[in-house]
């Protein structure tokens, strides 16, 4: 479960979307990962929330290197920007949640989620998360059906 409370996130649907993202990115399913908050791209774990782990990991099967980390696979340089912009003290679960919500805000997905329009929210956020359908990252994309199931399982409502 996301650590941010629904009243601080903008509603239960926002928290459900955060949980859906963790399922989609595969982070929340990794043992010992603190519900995905301590995952390094590729499935490794980091320790401590004082800062982004800042590890460049080679992913040979995708022919890329990435610094993605945390429940929402936030890149190192994006963390630095949002840490400053949002006044975050660290890379803790709450800070990761706030960054993901800011990314959703930038995609104009928050009103969609508050209205229960999960399909439009996923489409709007596809440019931010490689696991969402409709992006051009060339990585595995989840199906909309799987995402809706994860969203509803996390307490999200459709057509709210």
The residues assigned a catalytic role are 25
Using left for φ > 0, alpha for ψ between -120 and 50, and beta otherwise, residue 66 falls in beta
How far is the C-alpha of 136 from the C-alpha of 153, rounded, in Å?
A: 27
The H or E element that residue 8 is part of is helix 6-9
HSE-CB for 49 with a 13 A CA cutoff: 17
Report the 10 Å Cβ neighbour count for 144. Answer: 15
| DSSP class per residue in 76-112 | HHHHHHHHHHHT--SS-HHHHHHHHHHHHHHTT-HHH
User: For residues 124 and 87, what is the distance between their CA atoms, to the nearest angstrom?
Assistant: 25
Strand partners, 65: 58
């Amino acid at each position: 479960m996301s650590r941010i409370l629904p009243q601080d996130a903008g509603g239960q649907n926002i928290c459900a979307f955060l949980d859906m993202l963790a399922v989609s990115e595969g982070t929340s399913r990794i043992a010992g990962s603190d519900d995905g908050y301590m995952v390094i791209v590729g499935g490794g774990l980091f320790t401590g929330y004082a800062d982004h782990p800042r590890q460049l990991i080679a992913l040979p099967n995708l022919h890329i290197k990435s610094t993605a980390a945390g429940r929402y696979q936030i890149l190192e340089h994006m963390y630095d920007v949002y840490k400053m912009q949002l006044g975050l003290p660290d890379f803790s679960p709450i800070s990761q949640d706030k960054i993901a919500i800011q990314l959703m805000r930038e995609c104009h997905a928050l009103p969609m989620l508050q209205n229960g329009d999960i399909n439009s929210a996923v489409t709007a956020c596809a440019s931010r998360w490689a696991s969402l359908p409709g992006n051009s990252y060339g990585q595995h994309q989840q199906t909309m059906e799987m995402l809706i199931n994860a969203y509803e399982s996390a307490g999200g409502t459709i057509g709210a």
